[in-house]
Amino acid sequence: MKILRNYFLKEFIGPLFLALGVLTFVMILGNLIKIADLVINKGVEITSVLKLLAFMIPYLLTYTLPIAALTAVLLSLGRLSSDNEIVAIRASGINLFSLILPLLIVGLILSLILVVFNDRVIPYAHYASRKTIVEIGVKNPAAALEPGIFINSFEKYILFIYRIDKDKLSNVRIYEPQGEDKPARTIIAKRGEFIVVPEKNMIKLKLIEGTSDEPDPENPSNFYKLNFKNYFMTLNLSQMQDKDKIAKKPKDMTIQELRNEIKKIKKEGIDPAPLVTEINEKISLAFSSFVLMLFGMPLAIITRRREKSINFGIAFLIVGVYYLMLLGSEALSLQGHLDPRFAMWMPNIVLGLIGGILTYRLCAS
């Protein structure tokens, strides 16, 4: 019996590390284009980019580890089933559950590791990555800005830049709101560039060839157009830093920090549902490894498929259904239709019950 248990574990561990490596690499590869753009086109220091990449990997593991565990179960048990090894084992009178129990224990251990990971490592990595982005923004503002969207990171001004090439800007529009029922002051320029003054927490923006709305001295609520060849203006970085460096978002908090925040906002009469949802999401996502393995075991034995591509496809289909259920549960929780402590566990409960029933029937037959 011990030999068979070790055999099952050996068949599972190899595909687990293979799937984990492949999935993590594929997800990192999806971000390499953005990373390469930061280094090549925006001139960001390679050390800052490597820090962002390092902080990204723990976040990816939250999702890749459960998928890898499910894929490993489908690959290992699917091969054993297709080669009729499981049929031979059951024909010998050996209880199948006693052989898959070690796999379930491994799944439970992976989930417990992810609980600690989601509580401690992920919040730290998420918060550290945001601080790194702020540091990049101070040293190289263009690298932290996205073209084609409205940017309100600077005090007093809203920017819209059509194209950014390192510190060179093309087709720049700057809006300065004047209050309700008053037209915004507008500055338009063909080109521009940033000049960083970090010691003063300022950025100077040089605008080239454009027009500016200037207040009429006789009637400040009206503007007149001023054409310019070169125009310098100062942007304050304090709003960007206050928003991204001081305050922690729920995803940056540990479970204990979230509980402290819940107590605080309850005293102020605010509904803490979003924070309760975040706590339960952290824990339920961690236990998805165990639940997906429990669901995948009988499925692998029943389908009897050993092809890697098909098993990867089945794994992604199951995970897709799981995360769709999770997103739906999160929406119901945030809208107040379901208690967050129940809603965020619904996908685990549904798949866990189905997997448990299938496993019981399979082992009892």
Whether residue 175 is found in the same domain as residue 130: no
Residues 6+ apart with CB under 8 A from 103: 8, 9, 12, 73, 293, 297
Whether residue 192 is found in the same domain as residue 122: no
Whether residue 301 is found in the same domain as residue 171: no
Whether residue 254 is found in the same domain as residue 125: yes
Taking the whole predicted model, whether its pTM rises above 0.85 is answered as no
Which of these ranges, 12-21, 107-116, 239-248, 312-321, has the smallest mean pLDDT?
239-248
Question: How does pLDDT run across 314-364, given as a tens digit for each residue?
Answer: 888 999 999 999 999 999 988 888 898 899 999 999 999 999 999 988 887
Residue 242 falls within a domain, yes or no?
A: no
Burial readout 245-284 (b: 16 or more C-beta within 10 A, e: otherwise): eeeeebebbbbeebeebbeeeeeeeeebbbbbbbbbbbbb
243 pLDDT above the threshold of 50: no
Residue 144 falls within a domain, yes or no?
A: no
**Domain boundary residue, one of 236, 265, 291:** 236
Q: Which domain holds residue 131?
A: 2-138+248-364
172 pLDDT above the threshold of 80: yes
Residue 243 falls within a domain, yes or no?
A: no
Pair of tokens at residue 324: 């769709």
Residue 148 falls within a domain, yes or no?
A: no
**Domain boundary residue, one of 192, 212, 236:** 236
**Domain boundary residue, one of 206, 236, 266:** 236
The domain total for the chain is 2
Residue appearing with tokens 């059951």: 90
